[in-house]
Amino acid sequence: MPDWLPTVVEWTAAALGFACVVLTVRQNMWCWPTGLLQVLLYIYVFLSARLYSDMILHVIYVVLQVYGWWAWLHGGKDKGRLQTSWLSGRVRAAWALVIFAGTFTWGFLMARFTDAALPYWDAATTVLSIVAQYLLAHKKIESWVLWIVVDILCVGIYFVKDLHTTMVLYAVFLVLAVMGLKKWTQSTQKQLAAAPA
């Protein structure tokens, strides 16, 4: 396998990832096929870097990309398009427990049974990302809060692992996640204001 191939794949995946997040912030349906191609390429990138949790995460993302695509089209009221919304306080607390337990369990398994480079940090980004992606598929605004946390962690991890292109991408993702949080919050406020009393 040529030495330049991982770099070309990483750059292509990064470009697709940027396009995917921009489209997601805009609630454009094309975010899903773009994201699907991106995650397929990142499976190879993370396997090469021995970031196994990230690799497994991207395998899961393949399923979540297809699911999100369907949910945005048919998961709303009367099987129509979804609208942005907030989670209830109780559901937020339940997801927080899932994230804590999942991170500890996955990190322990990665540390014990693999040669993962950063098992607990990698596990945290994996679990947070799965939950964030699931909530994104349901257009929950909290997904952007989780993406902000993931992006901050990933910038550090990819710096340590010398994946500088991906590190820069996640720094850009961080800015886009803040924009997504703002735009989706505004969108939800407009929906609530326009709803009949």
Q: Give pLDDT, residue 66.
A: 94
Q: Give pLDDT, residue 1.
A: 61
Element housing 45 (H / E): helix 31-48
Burial class (CB in 10 A: 0-12, 13-18, 19+), 149: middle
Q: Give pLDDT, residue 158.
A: 86
Q: Give pLDDT, residue 164.
A: 85
How many domains would you assign to the chain?
1
- Ranges of residues in the chain with a pLDDT under 70 are 1, 76, 195-197
Q: Give pLDDT, residue 197.
A: 58
Residue 138: other Cβ atoms inside 10 A: 18
Percent of the chain with pLDDT over 70: 97
Residue 32: other Cβ atoms inside 10 A: 22
Q: Give pLDDT, residue 7.
A: 81
Rounded distance between C-alpha atoms, residue 44 and residue 88, angstroms: 37
15 is written with which tokens?
A: 């470009």
Print the domain residue range for 164: 5-78+87-194
Per-residue pLDDT of 53-90, as tens digits, reads: 778 888 999 999 999 999 998 876 777 778 899 999 99
Burial class (CB in 10 A: 0-12, 13-18, 19+), 73: middle
